[in-house]
Amino acid sequence: MAKVDWAPEAEDCLRDIHDFVAETSPESALKLVQSLIQRSFILREFPELGYRLRERPHEHIRVIVFGQYRMPYRLKASGDIDIIGVFHGRMDMERLLRKL
C-alpha cells in the first residue's frame, strides 16, 4: 500500500481553500477540507488512479479530481505519493505548478 504525504504547498492550498469557504460557511469549509483529504486516501490502494499530467524520466505527475477541485500528485519510484497541490477547476493549474 502506497504512503500518501502532503507537500507544504498542498497544505497551504488546503488552508487557503478553507479560509475562503469559511468566510461564508465555517462548517462547509471544514467538511470540504476533510473530504479533500479523505479523497487522497484512495491513492494508497490505487496510486495511478488519476489522469497523467506529466511524465518525465524521474517525475510522474498525475491528477485526481474531487468535485470542482484538482489534486496533482507526484508518483515516486518507490510507489509512494506526494500531493503537491489542490486547485479549483477555474485556476490555471499548469501555471501554478511551474512554480513547484
Kindly state the cell numbers that stand for 51.
489522469
CA distance 58 to 54: 10
CATH number for the 4-97 domain, one of 3.40.50.720, 3.40.190.10, 3.30.310.50, 3.30.2310.20?
Answer: 3.30.2310.20
12-45 pLDDT, tens per residue?
999 999 999 999 999 999 999 999 999 999 999 9
pTM, whole model, 2 decimals? 0.83
Specify which residues 81 forms β-bridges with: 4, 75
Q: What angle do CA 47, 48, 54 make, to 5 degrees?
A: 120
- Convert the pLDDT of each residue in 58-82 to its tens digit: 668 899 999 999 999 998 888 899 9
